[in-house]
């Protein structure tokens, strides 16, 4: 009875062991099948690194000095317009103040010239107007006097003819001497009046000459106006030049602050606090997270089915508990060894066959980009498009 019970127990254990063995074989078979199928459906590689084409080196383009502020550290996120660095602005402030004073002085000088020209212009116009009016007035008076002289001359001619008749009549003893003397008196009086008018007419000549001299003097003032116009043009050019210098100095002062040109992350600082900065020298490098992508170096034997648009699963070594999704963007047309510092020499053939790696560019379509850093490594699984 004891032997039968022992045999039955052994048989049961053997069946259990067989079942477990069969189950293990099935599990291994399923696992092997899934592994082989996964390898057929996906191209895998751990030659992966994070890259970016937007690594932007920035610095002070126009100014130089000593770095007095560096408020951000490597790895910090930065916003567009955020202050990243500042150099000592003291000498640029002094230059702005000096040019502001020079501009003010030049503006005041130009204003004084404009006021002087305005006064001279008014004086010129008034003097020209007065001289012209005086010349016209004297001309009218001379014309009036000439008309009177002409009228008086006609009267004298008539009186002369009348006097000659009186002389003839007196010779014939037709009229008394009193009539002859009266005619002679009238003739002499008319001649005396004519002489007075002629002298009065000549008296206008100096007045007219003086008025013409006043008009000539106004022409001299006109030359002075032209000289003032040239001085004003030179003063305006000086003000414009100084203002241009002032704007440049103000821009230089503003350029003592280095601000971020984009939303991104500080990848590298090349100069530390207190360092000397020169124009054009890179102070730091920024990277735009939106431009980050993955470069996977895939063996040439795994390229089948790896085409643009293929789905990609991405894992980064630094964040083993996270995954990213992506798509193949481009299979680059040259192997990684083509542009190596020491390219392969295959002119004599190769005794050892080496599988070359082809760079595959992958665009990230899912997952947080904030944690990714240029240069991080990982692994990818690329689903073949023909599978």
DSSP H helices, the chain, are 2-41, 90-171, 177-254
pLDDT at 233: 92
Give exposure, 245-260, as e/b (b: 16+ Cβ within 10 Å).
Answer: bbeebeebbebbebbb
What is the rounded distance in angstroms from the CA atom of residue 84 to the CA atom of residue 59? 10
Cβ atoms within 10 A of the Cβ of 341, count? Answer: 4
Q: Please choose, from the candidates 94, 86, 39, the residue with its C-alpha nearest in 3D space to the C-alpha of residue 67.
A: 86
Domains with residue ranges and CATH for the chain: 41-57+286-383 (2.40.30.170), 59-87+257-284 (2.40.50.100), 92-254 (1.10.287.2610)
pLDDT at 198: 75
Structural contact between residues 271 and 74, judged by C-beta atoms closer than 8 angstroms = no
Cβ atoms within 10 A of the Cβ of 88, count? Answer: 15
Q: What pTM was estimated for this model as a whole? A: 0.55
pLDDT at 245: 94
Structural contact between residues 84 and 258, judged by C-beta atoms closer than 8 angstroms = yes
pLDDT at 10: 65
- The per-residue pLDDT string of the chain (387 residues; one tens digit each, 9 = 90 and over) reads 556 666 666 677 777 777 888 888 888 877 777 777 767 778 888 888 888 877 788 899 889 999 999 999 887 888 999 999 999 999 999 999 999 999 999 999 999 999 988 888 888 778 778 777 777 777 777 778 788 878 888 888 888 888 888 888 878 877 888 887 888 888 888 888 888 877 776 766 676 676 666 666 667 777 878 888 899 999 999 999 999 999 999 999 999 999 998 888 888 888 888 889 999 889 998 888 778 888 999 888 888 888 888 888 999 988 888 888 999 888 887 665 554 444 555 555 554 555 688 899 988 888 887 777 778 899 988 888 865
Q: Model confidence over 62-76: pLDDT tens digits?
A: 899 999 999 998 878
């Amino acid at each position: 009875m004891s032997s039968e019970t022992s045999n039955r127990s052994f048989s049961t254990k053997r069946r259990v062991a067989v079942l477990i063995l069969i189950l293990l074989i099935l599990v291994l078979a399923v696992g092997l099948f899934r592994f082989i199928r996964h390898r057929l459906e996906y191209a895998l590689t751990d030659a992966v690194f994070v890259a970016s084409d937007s690594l932007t080196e920035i610095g002070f383009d126009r100014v130089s000095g000593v770095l007095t502020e560096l408020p951000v550290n490597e790895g910090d996120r930065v916003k567009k317009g955020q202050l990243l660095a500042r150099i000592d602005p003291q000498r640029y402030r002094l230059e702005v103040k000096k040019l502001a004073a020079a501009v003010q002085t030049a503006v005041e000088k130009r204003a004084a010239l404009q006021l002087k020209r305005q006064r001279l212009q008014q004086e010129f116009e008034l003097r020209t107007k007065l001289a012209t009016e005086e010349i016209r007035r004297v001309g009218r008076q001379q014309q009036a006097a000439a008309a009177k002289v002409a009228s008086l001359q006609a009267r004298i001619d008539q009186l002369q003819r009348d006097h000659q008749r009186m002389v003839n009549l007196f010779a014939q003893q037709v009229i008394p001497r009193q009539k002859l003397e009266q005619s002679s008196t009238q003739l002499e009086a008319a001649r005396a009046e004519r002489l007075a008018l002629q002298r009065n007419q000549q008296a206008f000549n100096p007045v007219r000459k003086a008025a013409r001299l006043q008009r000539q003097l106004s022409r001299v003032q006109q030359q002075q106006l032209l000289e003032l116009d040239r001085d004003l043009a030179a003063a305006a050019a000086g003000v414009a030049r100084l203002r241009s210098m002032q704007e440049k100095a103000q821009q230089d002062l503003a350029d003592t602050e280095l601000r971020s040109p984009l939303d991104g992350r500080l990848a590298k600082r090349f100069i530390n606090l207190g360092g000397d900065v020169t124009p054009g020298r890179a102070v730091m490098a920024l990277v735009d997270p939106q431009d980050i992508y993955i470069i996977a170096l895939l063996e040439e034997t795994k390229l089948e089915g790896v085409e643009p648009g293929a789905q990609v699963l991405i894992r980064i070594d630094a964040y083993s508990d996270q995954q990213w999704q992506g798509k193949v963007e481009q299979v680059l047309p040259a192997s990684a060894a083509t542009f190596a510092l020491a390219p392969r020499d295959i002119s004599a053939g190769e005794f050892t066959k080496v599988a070359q790696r082809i760079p595959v560019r992958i665009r990230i379509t899912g997952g947080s980009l904030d944690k990714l850093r240029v240069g991080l490594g990982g692994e990818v699984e690329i689903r073949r498009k023909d599978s």
